[in-house]
Chain A
Amino acid sequence: MNKPDSFIQQEYKYGFVTPMEVDTLPKGLSEDVIRLISQKKNEPSFMLEWRLKAYRHWLTMKEPSWSHVHYPKIDYQDIIYYSAPKKKPKLNSLEEVDKELLTTFEKLGIPLEEQKRLAGVAVDAVFDSVSVATTFKEQLSKAGVIFCSFSEAVQNHPDLIQKYLGSVVPYTDNFYAALNAAVFSDGSFCYIPKGVRCPMELSTYFRINAAETGQFERTLIVAEEGSYVSYLEGCSAPLRDTNQLHAAVVELVAQEKASIKYSTVQNWYSGDKEGKGGIYNFVTKRGKCVGRNSKITWTQVETGSAITWKYPSVILIGDDSVGEFYSVALCNNYQQADTGTKMIHVGKNTRSTIISKGISARHGNNTYRGLVKVLPKAQNARNYTQCDSLLLGSDCAANTFPYIEVQNNSSKVGHEASTSKISDEQLFYCKQRGISSENAVNMIVNGFCKEVFRNLPMEFAVEASKLLGVSLEGSVG
């Protein structure tokens, strides 16, 4: 019975588990802690310096507060900033897994083997996955694509890291970005060389190797001239995590004619029906269209977390570059989401599209906050924004705050917004045709989200749509 062990070794070999066998550091944050983190990770000195600068800057910053998101104060000295990779509890079979979790898996249509992996059951069938992963790895390296953990990239490609780290989200950007820069443990790095079309969705590989979601993750994707990559983060299975605060940073760099599609399906634990527990998700995601004709697309389906605060943004520097943001955010029970995007038009003829779909149910509170900024030199810039809210029930809320700053007069910015409810008449109509209220709500919600789902990779569009159904279960009728 040495299978699990050899599996762990193999996993390590393929680079998704942080290569350390050290114990947990005590709670709290100080320069010494940061030095230790950097040392344990065997980082080059530029990394340590950067972390320290970020930390010192963070000390001068105030935690932001918003009018539409409420949560108890976080004690930053009560967090463990470094611990050895956690081994998931190994169970022997699915029978030992929480029934409720299994039912959810089933409803989401997650294959049995993946169910086991997600639930932490020891599986021999994982060997299949490993070999699949190996094939992927070979295919990627043949194409010249670098795809590895951030720690690995720091070791093997320090020049690239040094060049791009913080180039999109500097540590000075905001409170959480500064904290992340100081203490981040790991994440992913992805580099697509000139002219290469990444031969696969980077989701599949990622999912099979799914590392423990870090509390302070960092992702960096660089697409060189004329390259293309589609990256998928997350998973529709409900993820529980003992870390309440998550503050990730994602940076995307698109050079001339490069195109990056970044899709997220997020379903972290959102707390119970009374609103207890649940993850605070404070993420900074930003892309930079550096080159002409480059394109960055953010697509997100957010159903989890107790509190979500995130604004995937695009800075459109290159002339004719394109930024897109497609979002579905669901707030059920006592969930709060404050999300949206920022499109900063710097170059000429830059175009951006924002489609935001907010769904609120029970006591959910959904806020869209978006900024479209057109700088003086961004001649003929175009933006189209559409924000739709769907309310299920009468105790939930939706707010829309579109901020528009246009500094030249050859640009056009268009905004449309709507708020609708699933009416009793609609529900009765569906039921009269034999459709259960659950399916009816599902159908209407999915119809509402269509424009966003269309932009997800096929396989995830299906999952996302099921996920919404499961997340909304019992919220109407």
Chain B
Amino acid sequence: MLEIKNLHVSIEGVQILKGISLKINKGEVHAVMGPNGSGKSTLAKVLAGDPAYTVTKGEVLFEGNNLLKMEPEMRAREGIFLAFQYPVEIPGVSNTYFLKAALNEVRVAKGLPELDAMEFLELFNKKLKQVEMDQTLAHRSVNESFSGGEKKRNEILQMTVLEPRLAILDETDSGLDIDALKIVAAGVNQLRSPDRSMMVVTHYQRLLNYIVPDFVHVLLEGRIVKSGSKDLALQLEREGYDGVKDSLASAKS
């Protein structure tokens, strides 16, 4: 599904990613962990096509195609979804209107007919219940004055409506209360399927109890320094990143 080869990325002349290679197959869930500033969001946004970043080296294939040549909206229509770490507010644009526009653009790209207002609302209300989101939030402007947790939940709502092929969740768990965490995890798990892949960025093992990953990667200073099974997350929880750093240091010397 997704193949990242030796990816180097910089922003404003600063090198952030220094050679990332990662392969995500259909149906797999990969967790990406790592200390603050290690480049997790950078990786997520580069995959989604954020023009603020410059790819200086390497390539990314999505379903065999050169992803880096595609415009962000094309990537989205091809089924890449990024749940942002910091979702932006769009004043004046209602959540439902926004999501309907998004869904219809995606549908048209897939050769499906657009949903009219009634059809969309029916779908929307169903999904709204699924993520147990408040009706009133649905009709407010996109993320405007949402609490941190509400914004995250809204991202999941959008994801369940858009049904992407590759979902990238960037710290969707941070800022969520325990109940919300379970609801979000349930929403994500419902989307798990043999043809859908996920990349889950998180700081906490806790989330991985609900969304059990097939692989865990540790990102450190722009490189994946360690990969393993879900047990790696448990180890990180126990030892922190110092453990990884130490073992790296000793391996080098």
Contact = CB atoms under 8 A, between A and B. Distances in A.
A429 B85 CA distance: 12
Interface string B60-86: 000000000001110111000110100
A429 B88 contact: yes
Nearest to B109: A434
Interface residues of B, number: 33
B141 A447 contact: yes
Interface string B31-48: 000000000000000001
A433 B49 contact: no
Interface stretch (B2-10, B11-19, B97-105, B131-139): B97-105
Interface string A431-467: 1111111010001101111100000000000000000
Contacts of A436: 73, 105
Among A426, A430, A446, A449, max chain B CB count under 10 A is at: A430
Give the secondary structure class of A's interface: helix
Contacts of A131: none
B93 interface: yes
Contact of A447 (B71, B84, B92, B106): B92
Nearest to A424: B52
A450 B94 CA distance: 11
Given A443-B97, A447-B92, A435 B141 contact: no
Contacts of A424: 51-52
A405 to B, nearest CB: 32
B158 interface: yes
Contacts of B103: 434
A423 B50 CA distance: 13
B105 A435 contact: yes
B148 interface: no
A430 B158 contact: no
Contacts of B99: 433
A428 interface: yes
B106 A434 contact: yes
B121 interface: no
B70 to A, nearest CB: 11
Interface in A146-164: none
Count class of interface residues, chain A: 20 to 34
B88 A425 contact: yes
Contacts of B158: 433
Contacts of B90: 426, 429-430, 443-444, 447
B87 interface: yes
A220 to B, nearest CB: 36
Contacts of A449: 92
B91 interface: yes
Contact of B105 (A423, A425, A434, A447): A434
Given A434-B105, A435-B102, A447-B93, A429 B84 contact: yes
B162 interface: yes
B93 A444 contact: yes
Contact of A434 (B50, B77, B94): B77
Contact of A428 (B72, B81, B162): B72
Contacts of A439: 101, 105
A443 B93 contact: yes
Contacts of B92: 444, 446-450
Among A434, A435, A449, A450, max chain B CB count under 10 A is at: A434
A431 B162 contact: no
Contacts of B162: 433-434
Nearest to B104: A434
Contacts of A448: 91-92
A251 B144 CA distance: 41
Among B77, B91, B158, max chain A CB count under 10 A is at: B91
B48 A432 contact: yes
A434 B76 contact: yes
Contacts of B84: 429, 432
A446 B142 CA distance: 14
B91 A432 contact: no
A433 B88 CA distance: 12
Contact of B98 (A423, A431, A433, A437): A433
B131 to A, nearest CB: 16
Contacts of B105: 433-436, 439
A429 B141 CA distance: 14
Interface string A400-426: 000000000000000000001001111
A431 B88 contact: no
A423 B82 CA distance: 18
A30 B158 CA distance: 68
A433 B50 CA distance: 12
Given A432-B82, A448-B92, A437 B73 contact: yes
A426 B102 CA distance: 14
Contacts of A435: 73, 98, 101-102, 105
A378 to B, nearest CB: 33
Contacts of B97: 443
Contacts of A434: 73, 76-77, 102-103, 105-106, 109, 162
Contacts of A428: 48-52, 72
A431 B72 contact: yes
Contacts of B71: 431
A443 B76 contact: no
17 contacts: A426-B88, A428-B52, A431-B71, A432-B75, A432-B81, A433-B76, A433-B99, A433-B158, A433-B162, A435-B102, A435-B105, A436-B105, A444-B92, A447-B90, A447-B92, A447-B94, A449-B92
**9 closest A-B pairs (Cβ-Cβ)?**
A447-B92, A433-B102, A434-B76, A447-B93, A431-B72, A434-B105, A431-B73, A434-B106, A425-B88
Given A431-B73, A439-B105, A443-B98, 5 more contacts: A424-B51, A431-B49, A432-B48, A434-B162, A443-B90
Interface of A: 420, 423-426, 428-437, 439, 443-444, 446-450
